[in-house]
Chains A and B, each alone.
Chain A
Amino acid sequence: MRHRLDLRIGPVTFRIGSDWRAPLAELERLYAPYPEPDGIADFTVRLEAERIWRRWIRPSVGIRGDHNLPDAAPLALRHGLLAAEMAMNLQMALGQRRFLLLHAATVERDGKALLMTGESGAGKSTLAALLGERGWRLMGDEFALVDLDTLALHPFPRMISLKNEAIGLFADAPPERLGPLLQDTPKGRIRHLRPCADAIARMDEPAPPAFILFPRFGRDFERAVRPVGAAEAFVRLTQASTNYIALGERGFEALTGLVAAAPAWGIDYSDTDGALALVEEVSR
């Protein structure tokens, strides 16, 4: 590939190749404070022109790597940063075997990790990002990596992917922590936010899971908290995992261990302040 960048996020190393300089330059700037990767990359990601001339004419970025989905649609070059994010997610989702991978956000305080998962739009990413600015350590807004032996959660503090209304909540963040505003992407408006310095400095520090939250957002929802039984939490987390089946019995052991160790709650909220108050209530 013409351009290359190696990144390490927590225990995972990516080698990213690109036909264009621009997406890598943005990634390089946002990931500048991250430690230098060492050793062999876990995953290779390629941002390629769909056709050779598409490098220049209406450039469109195809997402490729060690693991591919046949229907991964290409993105416009001006959305190159999103293409890189999606390509990295795809490699993790399809190829991760060292950890039980949950599509969940994680934050930690006083040595206790809080895992949040829900359907797309439930606000887990936004909640994790807000908590990360308010005394919690952000461990990750997208993937929770469950250690198959110890059940500890390993941080994966990639760039937080803020969507639509959530972007405004971080308008005061220092400009060096923000990516460009990406308009009209397939996921709406997107802006990337670099996690706090603390989240990056401590990205090799796992934490034991202490609570599980299933947030639900709705404009007319009453604020509510309800306990979720371990069996229901188990089923919902199998649905949130990309590699539960591939891991076989080790995945089963890890996930049953996780739900037995960490109590779970469902929370309904209609505004972010209400959600943050519920998180504090549940984690006390």
Chain B
Amino acid sequence: MLLDGLTILYHRPSGMTHILVTPAPEILAALGDAPADPEELLRRICERFEIEAEDAAEAVAARLAELEAAGLVRRA
């Protein structure tokens, strides 16, 4: 659910509500197609938004760690 540019998300397994800002929703969307390892995820994001991997790598890794801590992303 998009409200004023923020994504409000209800996580069914935990029953928790999360409020996400860019690029977290984009990361979740990129993982929504199929599971991916961090390299594959970075490749998908860079391709989708036409950015260079070296510019995005640090930010994507940091957001991914946050999403994992929030329980929205988990390692296979």
Encoded as 1 (CB less than 8 Å from any A CB) or 0, chain B from 1 to 33 comes to: 101111010101001010100000000000000
Give the complex CA separation of A34 and B42 in angstroms: 64
With CB as the reference atom, state the residue of chain B lying closest to A259: B3
Within the complex, the shortest CB–CB distance from A37 to chain B, in Å, comes to 34
Whether A260 pairs with B3 at a CB distance below 8 angstroms is: yes
Give the complex CA separation of A152 and B36 in angstroms: 43
Q: Which of B8, B12, B15 contacts A231 (CB 8 A)?
A: B8
Most chain A CB within a 10 A radius of its CB, from B5, B6, B17: B17
Whether A249 pairs with B19 at a CB distance below 8 angstroms is: no
Main secondary structure of the interface of A (DSSP, over half): helix
Encoded as 1 (CB less than 8 Å from any B CB) or 0, chain A from 227 to 260 comes to: 0011110110010000001001100110010011
With CB as the reference atom, state the residue of chain A lying closest to B21: A231
Whether B4 pairs with A229 at a CB distance below 8 angstroms is: yes
Q: Which of B4, B6, B17 contacts A252 (CB 8 A)?
A: B17
Whether A256 pairs with B1 at a CB distance below 8 angstroms is: yes
Task: Report chain A residues within 8 Å CB of B19.
Answer: 231, 234-235
Task: Report chain B residues within 8 Å CB of A230.
Answer: 3-4
Task: Report chain B residues within 8 Å CB of A252.
Answer: 8, 10, 17
Within the complex, the shortest CB–CB distance from A59 to chain B, in Å, comes to 43
Task: Report chain B residues within 8 Å CB of A234.
Answer: 3, 8, 19
Most chain A CB within a 10 A radius of its CB, from B4, B5, B19: B4
Task: Report chain A residues within 8 Å CB of B15.
Answer: 245, 248-249
Give the complex CA separation of A245 and B15 in angstroms: 7
Give the complex CA separation of A33 and B5 in angstroms: 48
Within the complex, the shortest CB–CB distance from A74 to chain B, in Å, comes to 35
Whether B8 pairs with A256 at a CB distance below 8 angstroms is: yes
Tell whether A231 pairs with B3 under 8 Å between CB atoms, given A238-B17, A252-B17: yes
Give the complex CA separation of A230 and B1 in angstroms: 11
Give the complex CA separation of A259 and B3 in angstroms: 9
Within the complex, the shortest CB–CB distance from B6 to chain A, in Å, comes to 4
Give the complex CA separation of A252 and B10 in angstroms: 7
Within the complex, the shortest CB–CB distance from A182 to chain B, in Å, comes to 39
Give the complex CA separation of A249 and B14 in angstroms: 11
With CB as the reference atom, state the residue of chain A lying closest to B10: A252
Q: Which of A98-118 contact B (CB under 8 A)?
A: none
Whether A231 pairs with B10 at a CB distance below 8 angstroms is: no
Within the complex, the shortest CB–CB distance from B24 to chain A, in Å, comes to 14
With CB as the reference atom, state the residue of chain A lying closest to B5: A231
Residues of A within 8 A of B (CB): 229-232, 234-235, 238, 245, 248-249, 252-253, 256, 259-260
Can you name 15 A-B residue pairings with CB atoms under 8 Å?
Answer: A229-B3, A229-B4, A230-B3, A230-B4, A231-B3, A231-B5, A231-B8, A234-B8, A245-B15, A249-B10, A249-B15, A252-B8, A253-B10, A259-B3, A260-B3
Residues of B within 8 A of A (CB): 1, 3-6, 8, 10, 12, 15, 17, 19
Nearest 7 interchain pairs by C-beta: A230-B3, A229-B4, A252-B10, A231-B6, A231-B3, A256-B1, A231-B4
